Structure 1
Amino acid sequence: MKAIGIILAGGNNDGRLGALTEQRASAALPIGSCYRAIDFTLSNMSNSGIGKVAVLTQYNSRSLRDHLTSSKWWDFGRKQGGLFVFTPYTSSTGNDWFRGTADSIYQNMTYLMRSNEEYVVIASGDSIYKMDYRDAVNYHIQKGADITVVYQNMEGRDLSYFGIMQLDEEQRLLGFEEKPEQAQTSSASLGIYIISRKLLIELLQKVVPQGGYGLVKDIIIPFRSSLKIYGYEFKGYWSTIGTSVSDYFATNMDFLKKEVRDIFVRQYPFIETKPKDEPPAKYNAGAEVSDTIVGSGAIFNGKVEHSVVFRKVYTAEDSVVRNSILMEGTRIGKGCVIENAILDKDVEISDGQRVIGKSMQEPVVLKKGTKL
């Protein structure tokens, strides 16, 4: 496909994810026992035939950059194109932090200038879905659109975290509300945009020097009348982890549903990730593990049910884990009870401790490296 990709992985999220993003970008958050959030957008780009992708990151980017050290896992290890990771420019005279989504692309304008592809697919790095962007690009071409915004009908969901679109019968954009208290429609933008490379350069050069730093606030909303902006409806599974801790928890728990899990691991093309060389999980005598997805290298001695367990987790005898997420290297002592909880990487729980959240909608979070 004659398109390049841009993945927005700034990672700040205004503190909505609390301790989970104190030391990592939201795009680097673990998902479904073996993935990172960015794996889904990266795989979508590769599976859609996009061979040149830029990842724009800023806050707490070390773990994300480590994950992207080798691009071959997503088939970006190539002479032409490939994977590019951009961070804000720093020099002896200062640094230029990205001031918004439009500004982050503007500061890396050479990526656009040195490309020859006709279209640009822009997507966020913290959404969980599988999509062939070729369908959206073909729709964009058929409509003769200047910009296409991918959206989903989210009737019945909390829409206060989303950009809400008003569309006419032809799917042309009439209005766009950013995070409204009372939404007029249920057509929520998924943060995926299709635009021609030349038009994107032209718009960025027009708005950013004038203090317009956001793609939505300073391009889509002001130009909705003068440009032909259309909505493209995506009807597949889609979830975001960047809005709240409860959404991150719920997205991981979705992987316990066979119909959701199969989308990513059993239906071609698959979602790829950077592999880890660990032995298979080990279930010792007395271990009871049910309704749980398990990462490699985990060792179980206690009871675990309805949970997501990542690699190298250890649970001791007589321990009970329910409705929880245990990240890499977590160790649970003897006789512990863990329920409605998110235990970040390398958390250690000593014998006899109880860590219980209010509910699955309000899980308790122990930050990375906590020793209890």
Structure 2
Amino acid sequence: MRAIGIILAGGNNHRMKELSQKRAIGAMPIAGSYRSIDFALSNMSNSHIQKIGVFTQYNARSLNEHLNSSKWWDFGRKQGGLFVFTPTVTADNSYWYRGTADAIYQNLSFLKSSHEPYVVIASGDCVYKMDYNKVLEYHIEKKADITVVCKDMPIGANVERYGTIKMNEDSRIEEFEEKPIVAKSNTISCGIYVIRRRLLIEMIERCAMEDRYDFVKDILIRYKNQKRIYGYKIKEYWRNIASVEDYFSTNMDFLKPEIRDYFFKQYPDVYSKVDDLPPAKYNVGAKVSNSLISSGCIVNGTVEDSVIFKKSFVGNNCYIKNSIILNDVYIGDNTHIENCIVESRDTIRANTFYKGEDGIKIVVEKNERYVI
């Protein structure tokens, strides 16, 4: 493909509460065995984009560990590769990334040293499948300066936390509002853009000269009347992990057979870093219904309508319902967990009761697992 890829995975989101205290949103576990950034990386790989830059910043340790090898997504045999950029102190600059445009500006040499004519920019916190080649073909056909991937949200959805757009009959964007107080449209931006590489360099350099740092506010909204900015609508599954409720419902979507079939049984595939773990083990007395149980888990109790991530242990007479158990959690005997998200590496003592009454409860227990 005649494009390089940029994945923006550096931001923090306070609506994720305790879940984002030790990891970036791009590293949030999804569907038992994946991270949220895997979907953007897999889309890049399946679209034959060979050169990818991932911009990380906030709590990037687990995300950097996940990205320590490009082989899982098949990037860069002899050309291209997977490049991870974190903020660095230089003679000219000692700032952290002050916004999405500033993140690109601080790594502008990555764009300038590339030869591909186009750039695909994506967010690292969205769950979806997409062939970016189709967006690029649409971009060229429309003779667009920038193409924004967008989606019509159902009536009544909370679109005020997204960027909302209005298009004319030719799909050219006429209005673009970032997180409006009252939305005038239910069409939202999906945070995926196609732009010519030279134009992007020119715009980013101009933003930096004027002390502007945000890609949406300072490029898309500012230039909407001067540049040819078009929208490309998608109808397929797309979710943004922007809050605890979004994260919970996105994982619960994977309990639906049609969603699992779409992501895991239909071409193209979704790739992730592979851990060499044994298959899940169900001991005598275990009862599991409508749940995802990942590799390395041992289940003794009852699990209903839940997602259990890798290397978790469920004790005897436990009852887990409508919950998400993250990686490497030990749950003691006779424990009841309902409507909860249990943080990774937690140790839940025996005879414990947790239930989310008014929404989803986040459980963070750091008890010592092994006592000498």
Task: Using structure 1 for the length normalisation, give the TM-score.
Answer: 0.96
Alignment partner, residue 291 of structure 1 = 290
Give the superposition deviation at 1:264: 1.4
Alignment partner, residue 343 of structure 1 = 342
Query: 2: distance between equivalents of 1:174 and 1:292?
Result: 44
Query: 1: distance between equivalents of 2:130 and 2:64?
Result: 24
Give the superposition deviation at 1:11: 3.1
Say which is worse superposed, 39-48 or 254-263, in terms of deviation.
254-263
Alignment partner, residue 207 of structure 2 = 207
Q: 1:345·1:368 contact (CA, 8 Å) conserved in 2? A: no
Alignment partner, residue 103 of structure 2 = 104
Describe the SS at the equivalent of 2:290: strand
Query: 1: distance between equivalents of 2:55 and 2:32?
Result: 25
Alignment partner, residue 363 of structure 1 = 360
Q: 1:347·1:369 contact (CA, 8 Å) conserved in 2? A: yes
Alignment partner, residue 87 of structure 2 = 88
Q: Which amino acid aligns with 1:327?
A: L
Say which is worse superposed, 84-93 or 283-292, in terms of deviation.
84-93
Task: Using structure 2 for the length normalisation, give the TM-score.
Answer: 0.96
1:66 lines up with 2:65 in the alignment: yes
- Which residues of 2 match residues 226-237 of structure 1 at below 5 A? 226-237=226-237
Alignment partner, residue 135 of structure 1 = 134
Q: 1:344·1:369 contact (CA, 8 Å) conserved in 2? A: no
Query: 1: distance between equivalents of 2:368 and 2:348?
Result: 6
Change (3 A) 1:70 1:253: same
Q: 1:33·1:294 contact (CA, 8 Å) conserved in 2? A: yes
Q: Which amino acid aligns with 1:339?
A: E
Aligned length: 368
Q: Which amino acid aligns with 2:137?
A: N
Alignment partner, residue 3 of structure 1 = 3
Give the superposition deviation at 1:79: 2.2
Query: 1: distance between equivalents of 2:92 and 2:105?
Result: 20
Query: 1: distance between equivalents of 2:298 and 2:71?
Result: 30
Change (3 A) 1:93 1:186: closer
- Which residues of 2 match residues 147-186 of structure 1 at below 5 A? 147-156=146-155, 157-186=157-186
For structure 2, the residue ranges without an aligned partner over 5 or more in a row are none
Deviations along 1:238-276, one digit per CA (max 9) or x if unpaired, are 0011x2100000000000011111121101110000001
Describe the SS at the equivalent of 1:90: coil
Deviations along 1:46-75, one digit per CA (max 9) or x if unpaired, are 000100000001010000000011110100
Give the superposition deviation at 1:212: 1.1
Give the superposition deviation at 1:180: 1.4
Alignment partner, residue 319 of structure 1 = 318
Q: 2:50·2:76 contact (CA, 8 Å) conserved in 1? A: no
Give the superposition deviation at 1:163: 0.2
Query: 1: distance between equivalents of 2:93 and 2:152?
Result: 44
Q: Could you say what the CA RMSD is over the residues aligned between the two structures, in angstroms?
A: 1.4
Give the superposition deviation at 1:91: 5.2
Query: 2: distance between equivalents of 1:364 and 1:370?
Result: 18
Give the superposition deviation at 1:155: 2.5
Query: 2: distance between equivalents of 1:108 and 1:255?
Result: 36
Change (3 A) 1:94 1:230: closer
Say which is worse superposed, 258-267 or 190-199, in terms of deviation.
258-267
Alignment partner, residue 188 of structure 1 = 188
Q: 2:347·2:365 contact (CA, 8 Å) conserved in 1? A: no
Q: Which amino acid aligns with 2:199?
A: L
Give the superposition deviation at 1:370: 5.8
Describe the SS at the equivalent of 2:89: strand
Query: 1: distance between equivalents of 2:137 and 2:91?
Result: 45
Query: 2: distance between equivalents of 1:16 and 1:335?
Result: 32
Q: Which amino acid aligns with 2:185?
A: T
Q: 2:87·2:97 contact (CA, 8 Å) conserved in 1? A: yes
Alignment partner, residue 33 of structure 1 = 32
Q: 1:340·1:357 contact (CA, 8 Å) conserved in 2? A: yes
- Which residues of 2 match residues 302-317 of structure 1 at below 5 A? 302-317=301-316
Give the superposition deviation at 1:94: 7.3
Query: 2: distance between equivalents of 1:184 and 1:93?
Result: 42
Give the superposition deviation at 1:161: 1.0
For structure 1, the residue ranges without an aligned partner over 5 or more in a row are none
Q: Which amino acid aligns with 1:2?
A: R
Query: 2: distance between equivalents of 1:208 and 1:371?
Result: 49
Alignment partner, residue 267 of structure 2 = 268
Query: 1: distance between equivalents of 2:312 and 2:144?
Result: 49
Q: Which amino acid aligns with 1:99?
A: R
Deviations along 1:95-141, one digit per CA (max 9) or x if unpaired, are 32001001100100000000000100000000000000001000000
Query: 2: distance between equivalents of 1:113 and 1:198?
Result: 8
* Identity level (%): 50
Describe the SS at the equivalent of 2:291: strand
Q: 1:20·1:367 contact (CA, 8 Å) conserved in 2? A: no
Query: 1: distance between equivalents of 2:199 and 2:211?
Result: 19
Give the superposition deviation at 1:77: 4.1
Q: 2:51·2:76 contact (CA, 8 Å) conserved in 1? A: no
Alignment partner, residue 24 of structure 1 = 23
1:259 lines up with 2:258 in the alignment: yes
Q: 2:85·2:107 contact (CA, 8 Å) conserved in 1? A: yes
Q: Which amino acid aligns with 1:154?
A: M
Give the superposition deviation at 1:90: 2.4
